[in-house]
């Protein structure tokens, strides 16, 4: 059996009505022949969109086949017991050249009941933001199902949604059930549960090239929405240098920010999970088992669970997301 190593996958590019050019111009990923690119799926176990290894002895193998072969050695015994051959996380970059639809995702219970799927809790790390760029997350006032429906039916939905001005390095955690949208001018990294279930609530009456509007899921969304009002939606964290900063810790994933100007070692002996690195800035080399793997901005790597000692070497410094299943 071929020995496992840090795995980089071929990006899966998604043409979207709201997509732009930043996947290429900022991240350096060539998505031709698509006219634009709204999303690049970097690590995916979603059926029909299975990531394939880009480099090395396992090149061309898809993620599901790898899990079936290597099981806990790849994902961790604890993770394999919980999820079997399903990879539990989906990693994307998203470029919003226009506002995305206002939407919501179901939680595990509703997604299982309706779609035999995981729910979708996610987080966003803002990679780049045009001046004045905004997003929507949650409500801006105490809310109930009845009050929401009243505003929705009167065409006043935007009046009750919480809008946030956004800057690079901002973080937003979006548990399943939170109404949200990514606004025009944002490039972000997304870590989420493996799910492609979206209930579209409102799409600004947009039409595609054929003059068609996109399907809405107004009724389905009602049972998914968390109507709770929160006074803080942006994730607060301390931007540390040369030590990890925890951004999100939830039952589905933990994500840390690694901003280092010096070489470091990461010890994962106490974890029983794969590690995902997403490079946001700079350059570095991942060293495992005595071999080095170069990493640059926009790269995502899957570190097999059995690789418990990882060296991160850098000349100029880097900023990276580190995610795993707790």
pLDDT for the residue 285: 98
pTM of structure: 0.95
Catalytic residue selected from 200, 206, 257, 266: 200
Antiparallel, parallel or unpaired: β 199-202 and 186-193? unpaired
What CATH number should be reported for the domain whose range is 245-324? Answer: 2.60.120.10
Burial class (CB in 10 A: 0-12, 13-18, 19+), 152: middle
What stretches of 114-241 adopt beta strand conformation (E)?
A: 122-129, 134-139, 161-165, 171-174, 180-182, 186-193, 199-202
Structure tokens, 267: 């010890």
Rg for the chain, CA atoms, rounded: 20
Scan for tokens 């800057």, then name that residue. 167
pLDDT for the residue 14: 97
Determine contact, residues 259/288, Cβ cutoff 8 Å.
Answer: no
| Phi/psi at 214 (5° precision) | -85, 150
CB neighbours of 22 closer than 8 A, spacing ≥ 6? Answer: 95, 97, 128, 187
pLDDT for the residue 213: 86
Neighbours of 302 (CB within 10 A): 25
> Under CATH, what is the fold of the domain 7-222?
Jelly Rolls (2.60.120)
Structure tokens, 199: 């209930």
What stretches of 175-308 adopt beta strand conformation (E)?
A: 180-182, 186-193, 199-202, 245-249, 254-260, 264-267, 275-288, 291-296, 300-303
Neighbours of 30 (CB within 10 A): 11
Return per-residue pLDDT of the chain as tens, 326 residues: 899 999 999 999 999 999 999 999 999 999 999 999 999 999 999 999 999 999 999 999 999 999 999 999 999 999 999 999 999 999 999 999 999 999 999 999 999 999 999 999 999 999 999 999 999 999 999 999 999 999 999 999 999 999 999 999 999 999 999 999 999 999 999 999 999 899 999 998 888 778 888 899 999 999 999 999 999 999 999 999 999 999 999 999 999 999 999 999 999 999 999 999 999 999 999 999 889 999 999 999 999 999 999 999 999 999 999 999 99
7-222 matches 245-324 in fold: yes
* DSSP single-letter state for residue 73: H
Closest CA to 275 of 310, 238, 245, 312: 310
Closest CA to 191 of 320, 27, 34, 68: 320
| Whole-number Å distance between alpha carbons of 145 and 137 | 17
| Phi/psi at 258 (5° precision) | -110, 110
**C-alpha distances in angstroms, 318 versus 10, 277, 280, 284?**
22, 12, 7, 7
Examine the residue annotation and report whether 200 is marked as an active-site residue of this protein: yes
Return the domain boundaries, the chain.
7-222, 245-324
């Amino acid at each position: 059996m071929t020995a496992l190593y840090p795995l980089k996958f071929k990006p899966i590019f998604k043409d979207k009505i709201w997509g732009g050019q930043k996947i290429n111009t900022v991240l350096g990923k060539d998505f031709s022949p698509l006219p634009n690119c709204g999303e690049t799926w970097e690590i995916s176990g979603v059926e029909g969109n299975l990531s394939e290894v880009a480099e090395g002895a396992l090149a061309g193998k898809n993620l599901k086949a790898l899990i079936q072969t290597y099981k806990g050695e790849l994902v961790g015994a604890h993770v394999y017991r919980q999820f079997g051959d399903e990879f539990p996380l989906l990693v994307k970059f998203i470029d919003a050249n226009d506002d995305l639809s206002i939407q919501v995702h179901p939680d595990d219970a509703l997604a299982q009941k309706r779609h035999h799927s995981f729910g979708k809790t996610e987080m966003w790390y803002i990679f780049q933001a045009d001046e004045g760029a905004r997003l929507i997350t949650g409500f801006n006032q105490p809310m109930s199902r009845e009050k929401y429906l009243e505003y929705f039916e009167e065409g006043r939905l935007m009046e009750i949604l919480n809008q946030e001005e956004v800057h690079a390095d901002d973080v937003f955690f979006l548990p399943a059930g939170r109404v949200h949208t990514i606004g025009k001018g944002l490039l972000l990294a997304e870590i989420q549960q493996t799910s492609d279930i979206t209930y579209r609530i409102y799409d600004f009456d947009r039409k595609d090239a054929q003059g068609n509007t996109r399907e809405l899921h107004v009724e389905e969304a009602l049972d998914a929405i968390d109507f709770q009002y929160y006074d803080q939606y942006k994730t607060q964290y301390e931007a540390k240098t040369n030590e990890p900063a925890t951004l999100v810790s939830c039952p589905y994933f933990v994500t840390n920010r690694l901003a280092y100007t010096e070489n470091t070692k990461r010890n994962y002996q106490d974890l029983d999970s794969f590690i995902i690195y997403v490079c946001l800035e700079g350059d570095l080399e991942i060293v495992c088992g005595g071999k080095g793997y170069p990493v640059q901005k926009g790269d995502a790597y899957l570190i097999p669970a059995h690789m418990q000692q990882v060296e991160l070497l850098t000349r100029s410094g880097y900023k990276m997301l580190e995610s795993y299943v707790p």
